[in-house]
Amino acid sequence: MAEPNSAAGDRPLIQVVGLTKIYRVGVETIHALRGLDLTIGRNEMVAIMGSSGSGKSTLMNMLGCLDRPTSGAYMLNGRDVSRMGAKELAQVRNEEIGFVFQSFELLPRQTALENVELPLIYAQGGWRGRRQRALAALDRVGLAKRVDHRPNQLSGGQRQRVAIARAILNKPSILLADEPTGNLDSATTAEILSLFRQIHGEGQTVVIVTHEDEVAAHCQRVVRLRDGRVLSDLPIEQDIAGRHLPAVHAAASAAGKGGA
Amino acid sequence: MLNPLFWLQAITLAFSQIWANKSRAFLTALGIIVGVASTTAVIAALTGLKSKVLSEFESVGASKFFVFPDRPDNAPRNMYPWEKILLKTAEVKAIRDECTLVKAVTPITEVGLDVESGDKRIEGITVSGIWPDWHEVQNRFVQEGRPFSQIDVDSERQVCLINEDAIRELDLPANPVGEAVLLGGRRFMVVGIVETTQARFFGMNTSSAEIFIPFSVAEKMQERNFFMRIEGLFASPETAQEGEDEVRFVLRRMRGLTPGEPQTFQVAAIDRFIEQFKALAAGITAIAGGIVGISLLVGGIGIMNIMLVSVSERTREIGLRKAVGATPMAILMQFLLEAVTLCLVGGFIGIAFGRLAAFGLTRIPGAQLDQADIPFWAVVLSFAFSALTGIVFGMFPAIKASRLDPIEALRHE
């Protein structure tokens, strides 16, 4: 991972230019992304928002290297990943991306520790000392005492913490969270979001895809999509200034105090 | 490429998948289990039978040969009357004197005679006339007393050799050497006891009273045209083929047969029987192999079916693994390994059952299968075929898993 970082130099971490994605579902053609441009710098914490059909899921799949664009370029850490083959993309995902999903996606029969170790199974070398790395990651998310528990022995919040530990294990370029609090109650949501802020505070770039203003309020910057294009791209203070959502304002001011 | 940790977890995962779905895995592997078990049992039985038969052949001697009169196929009976084709003493002597590849040879002729010893009288005992070489040809030597010598034959001495059954039936003393017995009214002196361990040939020659006299004496006691067979030993099993040709050549010359004229005798070497038996056993093994092929095919379809179910059940898991960096090859290998592991476990259980069956076979009384055992190569081959089944039938589901789109897979319910 040292190599792409040094190669990146002062370039932005994520640079997306004229990204389009066209799906064909039966006879219908769906333009999920229509020439989207986006730049995200190192150690930013960005929320990507939009209603369903706005293209935010498609964008997340692109940013996470799970899918390739129909046209346009995606420079991740100085490398064009938009034209890579399946094998190379798998390697990029392994090294550069840490996914956090709404439904956690833990392997049910494996312990928290084994779940966290999962990315190392597919790593190119560097799997030595895996136990220590996985334990360190679990410690960072506050689950040092739950390493031998299986997912069904953990609460929803704890499961998401395991998933976050798995995502940050390889020290990825991007921590990419897709509705990470969608399945959690509000108290747990707050805990998980403050964990994201803590990890961001330690230098991690975080991108959260969400449709909830309360979640977005914990980020520094909000990118809103509509019809496959960027509708607005503003710092959090300006984004919520135009809205009258007291709860969001409260969360944002809390974020301002506690966050970066 | 794929790191050791991958293989470690893939193998662990394969076993834990089987363990988590024990009954399903067992039913799936049943085809493999039955196939491997039945084949290894058949191979065990064949191997047992083969080593049994071969050891009987061995005890007879691999370099042994027989000569007996034989009417040519399709030839009219009156053209080759028995008296014309019967073996003659002169012919045995010619074989003994002229065939350089023959180490030992003896004529054997059997006479049914009444035997008397003291008050005891037994009617119709088979008395065999032999040469001294008989001991070497039959691999049967004397326990007590002495064997026949050339002088016994040349001087037509009235001496005999008997076996332990004959001693018992005639109420002779335990060591009867020097005792006299009446054979067909003539007085013979017992000079030796022949070993009872017989060359049992497929259950023939079951042990019973046996008495041997010099061939020259038996010749005199026979009718005019009497039947004899010739048994002999070649110098070594390697030269058996040439030895046969030599015997054939000498006999044809003795009988004045011109080239192209059909043969009026048969020369048969044990060596040839062994070859034929081995070919037969190989044929049966091949048929058993064919049966296992079919049952593994059936078993393999079961494996494929269950692997497709497994792929479909674990679509989300596959999606997640791909998201955290599993290459298509890694996914393919994992599922292939799972199929192979399932088949190998099936093969292992199958071999265990086959072994049990083989053990059962050895316990069947009178089945001649007491040497039934699964040879090592059959174990190796069973595992190899099981693994091959896993690879062949696991390939399609594994390829299907490796090609899943991670986005679709993660969305799968």
Indicate the residue of A67, A93, A105 with minimum beta-carbon distance to B325.
A93
Indicate the residue of B5, B16, B407 with minimum beta-carbon distance to A127.
B5
Task: Note which residues in 140-169 of chain A have CB less than 8 A from chain B.
Answer: 166
- B236 vs A: CB within 8 A: no
Tokens linked to B307: 């692997």
Lowest mean pLDDT among A36-45, B304-313, B371-380: B371-380
Tokens linked to B52: 């049994």
Average pLDDT over residues B33-46: 87
User: Which residues of chain B lie closer than 8 angstroms to A91, CB-CB?
Assistant: 325, 327
pLDDT tens digit sequence for B317-356? 999 999 999 999 999 999 999 999 999 999 999 999 999 9
Lowest mean pLDDT among A196-210, B57-71, B182-196: B57-71
The predicted pLDDT at position A223 comes to 94
Q: Do A90 and B328 touch (CB under 8 A)?
A: yes
pLDDT > 70 fraction of chain B, expressed in percent and rounded = 95
What phi-psi label fits residue A179: left (phi over 0), alpha (psi between -120 and 50 degrees) or beta? left
Whether the per-residue pLDDT at A6 is higher than 50: the answer is no
Q: What is the distance between the alpha carbons of residues B241 and B63, in angstroms, rounded to a whole number?
A: 10
The predicted pLDDT at position B260 comes to 81
The residue segments making up the domain with residue A216 are 2-258
Q: Do A93 and B324 touch (CB under 8 A)?
A: yes
pLDDT tens digit sequence for A84-112? 999 999 999 999 999 999 999 999 989 99
Going by C-alpha positions, the residue among A187, A228, A244 that lies closest to residue A23 is A228
Nearest CA in chain A to B329: A87
To the nearest whole Å, the CA of A171 is away from the closest chain B CA by 13
The predicted pLDDT at position B200 comes to 47
Q: Do A121 and B6 touch (CB under 8 A)?
A: yes
- B6 vs A: CB within 8 A: yes
Whether the per-residue pLDDT at A64 is higher than 90: the answer is yes
Residue scoring higher pLDDT (B124 or B99): B99
Whether the per-residue pLDDT at B58 is higher than 50: the answer is yes
- Alpha-carbon torsion angle B39, B44, B49, B55, nearest 10: 140
**Coil, helix or strand for B348?**
helix
User: What is the average pLDDT value for chain B, to the nearest integer?
Assistant: 86
The predicted pLDDT at position A9 comes to 52
Its ipTM equals 0.89
Average pLDDT over residues A197-217: 92
Q: Do B327 and A67 touch (CB under 8 A)?
A: no
- B320 vs A: CB within 8 A: yes
To the nearest whole Å, the CA of A2 is away from the closest chain B CA by 18
The predicted pLDDT at position A246 comes to 61
- A107 vs B: CB within 8 A: yes
Average pLDDT over residues A179-195: 93
Is residue A242 exposed (0-12), middle (13-18) or buried (19+ Cβ within 10 Å)? exposed
The predicted pLDDT at position A245 comes to 61
Residue scoring higher pLDDT (B311 or B366): B311
The predicted pLDDT at position A115 comes to 94
User: Which residues of chain A lie closer than 8 angstroms to B329, CB-CB?
Assistant: 87
User: Which residues of chain A lie closer than 8 angstroms to B323, CB-CB?
Assistant: 64, 66, 93, 97, 99, 105
Indicate the residue of A90, A105, A130 with minimum beta-carbon distance to B325.
A90
Whether the per-residue pLDDT at B208 is higher than 80: the answer is no
The predicted pLDDT at position B76 comes to 72
Lowest mean pLDDT among A233-242, B191-200, B201-210, B385-394: B201-210
Whether the per-residue pLDDT at A8 is higher than 50: the answer is no
Whether the per-residue pLDDT at B2 is higher than 80: the answer is no
DSSP state, B77? G
User: Which residues of chain A lie closer than 8 angstroms to B316, CB-CB?
Assistant: 105
Residue B398 binned pLDDT confidence (cut-offs 50, 70, 90): very high
Going by C-alpha positions, the residue among A122, A42, A35 that lies closest to residue A78 is A42
Residue A157 binned pLDDT confidence (cut-offs 50, 70, 90): very high
pLDDT tens digit sequence for B188-200? 999 999 887 544 4
Q: Chains A and B: how many Cβ contacts under 8 Å?
A: 69
Lowest mean pLDDT among A80-84, B121-125, B130-134: B121-125
CATH number at residue A138: 3.40.50.300
To the nearest whole Å, the CA of A34 is away from the closest chain B CA by 20
- B399 vs A: CB within 8 A: no
Specify whether the CB–CB gap between B333 and B1 falls below 8 A.
no
The predicted pLDDT at position B204 comes to 47
Q: Do A61 and B324 touch (CB under 8 A)?
A: no
Q: What is the distance between the alpha carbons of residues A73 and B52, in angstroms, rounded to a whole number?
A: 77
Average pLDDT over residues A113-136: 86
The predicted pLDDT at position B205 comes to 47
The predicted pLDDT at position B328 comes to 94
Number of domains in chain A: 1
**Coil, helix or strand for A91?**
helix
User: Which residues of chain B lie closer than 8 angstroms to A125, CB-CB?
Assistant: 3
Q: How far apart are the first and last CA of chain B?
A: 32
User: Which residues of chain B lie closer than 8 angstroms to A90, CB-CB?
Assistant: 322, 325-328, 330
- Most trustworthy range by pLDDT among A89-103, B17-31, B38-52: A89-103
Distance of CA B20 to the CA centre of its chain: 45
Residue B160 binned pLDDT confidence (cut-offs 50, 70, 90): very high
User: What is the average pLDDT value for chain A, to the nearest integer?
Assistant: 87
Integer angstrom CA distances of residue B189 from B164, B179, B209: 16, 6, 17
To the nearest whole Å, the CA of B308 is away from the closest chain A CA by 19
Specify whether the CB–CB gap between A116 and A134 falls below 8 A.
yes
Average pLDDT over residues B350-368: 85
Specify whether the CB–CB gap between B50 and B281 falls below 8 A.
yes
Indicate the residue of B3, B320, B410 with minimum beta-carbon distance to A123.
B3
Q: What is the distance between the alpha carbons of residues B188 and B184, in angstroms, rounded to a whole number?
A: 10
